[in-house]
């Protein structure tokens, strides 16, 4: 191996190795018209001009590769911060330019006359590549890799890429049939992202020599009885015919298997490895991965694979014309509970492994099993799928297509269809080895005059389905989401035809203190794959995002509030329900309380319909762009909003939930509730259910107790009525096992008033915090329940470390103790506090044993008796916290 040294100020390596990564600091310069031609070539040795490839030369600025042009410009002050205030508007012009990115590449004597290949994994939206001023080739489309052969010599070379301007596109409100290319749509302007064009070398770059991989496809298939698996490796190489390819499979259970085969005259080879009794990959609790190493000459590629069997089926009670929305993994039905995933950053090149890990840890901690990768964003990256593989998260990946408000069916133009097919033939095989991937979708909310499109209603969808069925036949396929036949989860639509609610979307707004309950109870969907409730941003993000002088009024009369989430600004509704004259902190608390309450009502209603309702996927996990108001459950800065904790409750394997007709009972003589239970894998007869109505001090106003028979699928098990209390009160349910242990414990805040104004004037209480190994133990030391309690990040915005704790948002009764787990990061003393609507903040000390990531809701599960020694993801048995 040759030496490694640095050239100049750009940190450019000179190496004598077979693979030279070309990531890190490059140089950036804008181009108007064809001025890029002046900047791509190496200047004469004696030239002293502004185009010399030196990071300090006038006109050039640094850019990180992978990265984005917009963030590089913001980093040098060329544009204002595009993620604060009106700053995104300062970036809108950037997409109209070409941009030159270049760097020096130093090669030592070992590279003399080497046949090399320059590899780009992704340039958005496309561009031309130059080596010492000579054009090597170009690529069109961010999903298409570029492999450019060249003969290299020792010395210092100039590598330049001219990134194309952003092509014309269609924002959220427009016409889908005007979309000409397969690419994310959100950057053209969406309800949660202003126009925010992305350009750049957004995926890794490298120079390789020697026998190389031109392509590598890996697939594993496990038999239904789980006794055998087959791993197939297909290799395309630039090695000479007769050379060998070797595949070594480390199963991770002490066994290693291998296969070797020759490269044929076309440079291809296919290897097969048979595995007896494979160690199984399970969702959530047992994501076992095997390591496959494939070698050609001195080059080696590594893939981590998992063995599991998938079977899609119609759920119990489905109409005969319904699509299969139920999934069995290794023979076990799995509730497809989870959350929608939008890109972690609208500037895709800026997404780091650290950010992916942080967000996926939060998804896992929320109890999510499935992520629906939304069609307005990316076909996600290898790093995303690898992280989901490791965490046992199931993935539904949509192609990059979406509705457009005015017209929502894709073009049937043969050139458009051909472009989508070309991308699919690259994307599908490259992701086939990931066990997390279980379902492909044609796109988001694609519709015609009759409702959601079926596969045969669109030339693009037919073509994409054909590619998936040919290249990845094990996975499921849905033409779009929702797949209908009705689109909307709406009371009038449900009433008109309750059996047409197969896969539905909506609503995304809090419906009201009674209508939210009414709609949830009326639902009949088999799959509820996008819905949510809006809420104001957390304080730290809001104050960073909005300059002090522009923070009030926080409603839609404020132009900046319209810019930063107009569709989801519910300030007027909050004031209608809670009263006028709210300070910002009150407004935030009230809005976020509605998001918590409304989401809990919707989620738990869907969960009560299991197993008929198999998919429950609220919108959306995290923001792609920071907003003052939105439906996301995690802010752009990585801090969870309180509503994220609702998922962990709703998705738990054993729950008691309340069903009521309203949240505010003013004008009604009595309050009433029914209690529903479910248990997976089930509990035998025994135990009891204790139901009560409490005032805020915990004093009992009414109570009943019910002896329980066996509990498995959801069902009503008890009812309680009481005279309507004055002001706020609590429903309390304790599910006790036969031995007296608590299975689950539910507390719900409602009010006997006609509105929610009394929540602004709750009696004060106090919280205390004690550090534990995995977070903190929080106690309510005051006289009344702590409402809307939870952690809050009080760091300054310039601290970009990702830290998150996830609270259970149930009210905390006097003297009650609840754990607050740290999910991600390493907070220092006082960087997080815990407070409540009616309790002052308490600084949180560092946990006694800081860990980078934990999973506070991880399920410890028993394997099916005859199938495998691995965990069963669907037989969770989680008690109350």
CATH code matching the domain that covers 655-761, chosen among 2.40.40.20, 2.60.40.2550, 3.30.1360.170, 3.10.20.590? 2.60.40.2550
Under a CB-based contact definition with an 8 Å cutoff, are residues 762 and 728 in contact? Answer: yes
Q: Cα(396)–Cα(373) distance, rounded to whole angstroms? A: 6
Q: Is the pLDDT of residue 130 over 80?
A: yes
**Could you tell me which residues are beta bridge partners of residue 732?**
692, 747
**Is the pLDDT confidence value at 876 over 90?**
no
CB 489 within 8 A of CB 521: no
Other Cβ atoms within 10 Å of 159 Cβ, number? 22
User: What is the C-alpha to C-alpha distance for residues 148 and 136, in angstroms, rounded to an integer?
Assistant: 7
pLDDT band at 852, cuts 50/70/90? Answer: very low
User: Which is higher by pLDDT, 46 or 484?
Assistant: 484
Distance set, CA 853 to CA 304, 406, 588, 802, 848 (Å): 21, 44, 28, 11, 14
- Average pLDDT rounded to a whole number, residues 110-122: 94
Q: Which pLDDT does position 108 carry in this prediction?
A: 93
Tokens representing 320 are 């005969």
CA distance 39 to 846: 51
Q: How far apart are CA 200 and CA 524, in angstroms?
A: 45
The whole-number pLDDT of residue 550 equals 97
| Strands 268-276, 228-237: pairing kind | antiparallel
pLDDT at 838: 97
| Two tokens, residue 163 | 């990134």
Question: Which residue is it, tokens 């198999």?
Answer: 614
Both structure tokens of 732: 């309390």
**Cβ atoms of 52 and 43 closer than 8 Å:** yes
Give, rounded to a whole angstrom, the gap between the first and last alpha carbons of the chain: 55
Structure tokens at 143: 């999903």
DSSP 560-589: HHHHTTGGG--HHHHHHHH-S---HHHHHH
Token couple for 559: 């132009």
In sequence order, what DSSP letters do the residues of 513-549 get, joined into one string?
TTHHHHHHHH---SEEEE----EEPPHHHHHHHS-GG
pLDDT for 284 beyond 90: no
Helices within 170-281 (DSSP H only): none
What is the rounded distance in angstroms from the CA atom of residue 200 to the CA atom of residue 202?
A: 5
Question: Is residue 854 pLDDT above 50, yes or no?
Answer: no
What pLDDT is stored for residue 59 in this prediction?
Answer: 86
Query: Does the fold of domain 655-761 match that of domain 213-305?
Result: yes
The residue that leads in pLDDT, 851 or 226, is: 226
Whether pLDDT at 8 is above 80: no
What are the tens digits of pLDDT across the range 806-838? 999 999 999 999 999 999 999 999 999 999 999
Greater model confidence, 708 or 859: 708
- What fold does the segment set 213-305 form as a domain? Immunoglobulin-like (2.60.40)
Confidence at 849, pLDDT banded by 50, 70, 90: low
Beta strand ranges found along 186-306 (DSSP E): 200-201, 205-209, 213-222, 228-237, 244-250, 256-262, 268-276, 290-296, 299-305
Q: Which of 63-67, 234-238, 276-280 has the weakest average pLDDT?
A: 234-238
Which residues in 486-495 are b (16+ Cβ under 10 Å) and which e?
bbbbbeebbe
Q: Does the pLDDT value for residue 506 go beyond 50?
A: yes
Of 171, 174, 169, which Cα lies nearest the Cα of 405? 174
pLDDT over 70 percentage in the chain: 92
Structural contact between residues 730 and 640, judged by C-beta atoms closer than 8 angstroms? no
CATH code of the domain made up of 343-481: 3.20.20.80
Q: What pTM does this model have?
A: 0.94
The verdict on domain 486-651 having CATH code 3.20.20.80 is yes
Express each pLDDT in 741-786 by its tens digit.
999 999 999 999 999 999 999 999 999 999 999 999 999 999 999 9
Per-residue pLDDT, 211: 74
Helix (H) or strand (E) holding 464: helix 459-471
The larger pLDDT score, comparing residue 43 to residue 558, is at 558
Given the DSSP bridges, would you call strands 629-630 and 615-616 parallel, antiparallel or unpaired? unpaired
Listed by start position, the domains of the chain span 5-209, 213-305, 343-481, 486-651, 655-761, 767-843
CA 869, CA 864: separation in Å to the nearest integer? 8
H-type alpha helices, 319-413: 353-365, 382-391
Residue 9 or residue 782, greater confidence: 782
pLDDT greater than 50 at residue 640: yes
Mean pLDDT of the chain: 92
Q: What pLDDT does 131 receive?
A: 96
Q: Which residues neighbour 466 within 8 Å (Cβ) at sequence distance 6 or greater? A: none
Domain 5-209 superfamily per CATH: Galactose-binding domain-like (2.60.120.260)
Tell me the pLDDT tens digit for each residue of 422-475: 999 999 999 999 999 999 999 999 999 999 999 999 999 999 999 999 999 999
For residue 582, how many other CB atoms are within 10 A of its CB? 18
Among the ranges given (43-47, 211-215, 303-307), the one the predictor scored with the smallest mean pLDDT: 43-47
Q: Give the whole-angstrom CA distance, residue 707 versus residue 690.
A: 9
pLDDT tier at 681, thresholds 50, 70, 90:
confident
- Whether the pLDDT of residue 13 is over 50: the answer is no
| Cβ-based neighbour number of residue 709 at 10 Å | 11
How far, in Å, are 172, 329, 336 from residue 372 at the CA level?
A: 19, 17, 10
Q: Where does the pLDDT of residue 243 fall: very low under 50, low under 70, confident under 90, or very high at 90 and above?
A: confident
Q: Are 179 and 170 in contact (CB under 8 A)?
A: yes
Per-residue pLDDT tens for 205-227?
Answer: 999 998 778 899 999 999 999 99
């Amino acid at each position: 191996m040759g030496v490694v040294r640095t050239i100049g100020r750009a940190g450019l390596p000179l190496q004598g190795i077979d693979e030279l990564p070309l990531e890190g600091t490059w140089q950036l310069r804008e181009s108007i018209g064809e001025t890029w031609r002046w900047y791509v070539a190496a200047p004469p040795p004696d030239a002293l001009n502004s185009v010399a490839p030196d990071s300090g030369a006038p006109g050039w600025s640094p850019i990180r590769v992978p990265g984005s042009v917009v963030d590089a410009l913001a980093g040098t002050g060329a544009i204002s911060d595009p993620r604060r205030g009106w700053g995104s508007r300062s970036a809108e012009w950037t997409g109209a330019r070409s941009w030159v990115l270049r760097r020096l590449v130093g090669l030592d004597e070992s590279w003399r006359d080497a046949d090399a290949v320059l590899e780009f994994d992704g340039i958005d939206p496309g561009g031309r590549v130059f080596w010492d001023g000579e054009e090597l080739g170009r690529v069109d489309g961010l999903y298409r890799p570029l492999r450019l052969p060249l003969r290299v010599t020792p010395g210092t070379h100039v590598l330049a890429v001219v990134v194309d301007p952003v092509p014309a596109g269609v924002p959220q409100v427009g016409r889908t049939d005007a979309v000409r290319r397969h690419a994310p749509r959100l950057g053209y302007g969406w309800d949660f992202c202003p126009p925010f064009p992305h350009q750049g070398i957004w995926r890794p770059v490298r120079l390789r020599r020697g026998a190389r991989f031109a392509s590598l496809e890996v697939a594993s298939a496990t038999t239904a009885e789980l006794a055998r698996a087959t791993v197939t490796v297909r290799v395309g190489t630039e090695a000479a015919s007769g050379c060998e390819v070797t595949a070594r499979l480390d199963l991770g259970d002490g066994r290693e298997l291998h296969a070797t085969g020759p490269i044929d005259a076309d440079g291809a080879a296919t290897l097969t490895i048979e595995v007896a009794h494979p160690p199984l990959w399970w969702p959530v609790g047992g994501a076992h991965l095997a390591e496959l190493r494939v070698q050609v000459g001195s080059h080696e590629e590594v893939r981590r694979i998992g063995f599991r069997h998938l079977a899609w089926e119609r759920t119990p009670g489905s109409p005969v014309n319904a699509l299969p929305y139920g999934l069995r993994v290794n023979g076990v039905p799995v509730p497809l509970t989870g959350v929608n995933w939008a890109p972690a950053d609208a500037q895709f090149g800026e997404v780091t492994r650290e950010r992916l890990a942080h967000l996926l840890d939060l998804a896992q901690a929320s109890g999510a099993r499935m992520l629906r990768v939304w069609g307005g964003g990316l076909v996600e990256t290898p790093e995303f799928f690898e992280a989901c593989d490791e965490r046992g998260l199931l993935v539904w990946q949509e192609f990059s297509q979406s509705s457009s408000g005015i017209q929502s069916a894709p073009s049937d133009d043969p050139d458009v269809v051909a472009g989508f097919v070309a991308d699919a033939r690259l994307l599908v095989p490259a992701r086939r080895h990931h066990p997390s991937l279980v379902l492909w979708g044609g796109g988001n909310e694609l519709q015609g005059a009759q409702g959601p499109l079926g596969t045969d209603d669109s030339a693009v969808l037919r073509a994409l389905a054909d590619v998936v069925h040919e290249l990845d036949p094990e996975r499921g396929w849905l033409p779009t989401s929702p797949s209908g036949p009705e689109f909307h989860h709406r009371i009038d639509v449900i009433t008109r035809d309750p059996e047409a609610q197969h896969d539905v979307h909506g609503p995304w707004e809090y419906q009201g203190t009674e209508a939210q309950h009414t709609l949830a109870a009326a639902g009949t969907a088999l799959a509820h794959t996008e819905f949510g409730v809006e809420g104001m941003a957390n304080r730290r993000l809001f104050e960073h995002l909005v300059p002090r002088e522009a923070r009030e009024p926080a409603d839609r009369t404020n132009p900046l509030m319209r810019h930063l989430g107009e569709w989801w600004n519910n300030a007027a509704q909050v004031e209608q329900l809670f009263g006028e004259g709210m300070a910002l902190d009150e407004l935030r608390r009230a809005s976020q309380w509605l998001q918590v309450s409304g989401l809990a009502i919707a989620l738990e209603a869907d969960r009560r319909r299991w197993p008929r309702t198999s998919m429950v996927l609220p919108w959306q996990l995290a923001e792609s762009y920071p907003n003052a108001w939105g439906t996301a459950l995690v802010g752009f800065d990585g801090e969870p909003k309180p509503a994220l904790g609702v998922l962990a409750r709703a998705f738990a394997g054993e729950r008691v939930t309340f069903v009521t007709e309203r949240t505010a009972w003013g004008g009604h003589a009595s309050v009433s509730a029914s209690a529903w239970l479910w248990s997976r894998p089930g509990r035998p007869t025994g135990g009891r259910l204790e139901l009560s109505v409490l005032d805020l001090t915990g004093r009992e106003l009414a109570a009943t107790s019910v002896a329980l028979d066996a509990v498995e699928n959801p069902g009503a098990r008890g009812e309680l009525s009481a005279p309507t209390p004055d002001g706020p009160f609590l429903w309390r349910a304790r599910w006790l096992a036969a031995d007296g242990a608590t299975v689950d414990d539910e507390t719900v805040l409602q009010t006997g008033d006609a509105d929610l104004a009394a929540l602004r004037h709750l009696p004060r209480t106090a919280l205390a915090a004690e550090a534990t190994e995995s977070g903190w133990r929080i106690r309510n030391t005051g006289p009344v329940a702590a409402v809307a309690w939870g952690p809050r990040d009080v760091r300054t915005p310039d601290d970009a470390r990702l830290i998150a704790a996830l609270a259970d948002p149930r009210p905390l009764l006097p003297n009650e103790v609840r754990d607050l787990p740290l999910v991600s990061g390493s907070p220092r003393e006082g960087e997080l506090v815990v407070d409540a609507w009616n309790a002052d903040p308490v600084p949180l000390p560092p946990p006694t044993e800081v860990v980078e990531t934990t999973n506070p809701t991880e399920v410890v599960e028993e394997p099916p008796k005859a199938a495998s020694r691995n965990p069963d993801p669907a037989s969770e048995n989680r008690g109350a916290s």
